[in-house]
Amino acid sequence: MTAQTDTPGSLTTVYQVSGMSCGHCEGSVSSEISEIAGVTSVKAVASTGEVTVVSAAPLDEEAVRAAVDEAGFELVAKA
């Protein structure tokens, strides 16, 4: 259920988000998730619904869910 890749000093997690359909959607989701403490990089892809997040430590899934909700979309699961 979780796609995580560990590299020294960072953790990459891929989330599945429903409702994204354009670049503006990607930007909204990326902006909200970027505000979570410890996040160093976010890449959202509307065509696949995948959001790849690089962080210094594991993130609280509820914090990610709240950020996605704030952007107007729904966190389906970790990919």
What CATH number does residue 30 fall under? 3.30.70.100
Domain region containing 30 = 3-78
Reported as a pLDDT band with limits 50, 70 and 90, residue 4 is low
Note the pLDDT of residue 6. Answer: 54
H-helix or E-strand spanning residue 30 = helix 23-34
As for how many domains the chain has, the answer is: 1
Q: Is 33 helix (H, G, I), strand (E, B) or coil?
A: helix
At residue 5 the predicted structure's pLDDT band, cuts being 50, 70 and 90, is low
Indicate whether this model's pTM tops 0.85: yes
Identity of the amino acid at 74: E
- The one-letter amino acid code at 32 reads E
Q: Which residues contact 32 (CB under 8 A, 6 or more apart)?
A: 67, 68, 70, 71
Rounded-to-integer distance, Cα 65 and Cα 62, Å: 5
> Token digits for 4?
């995580």
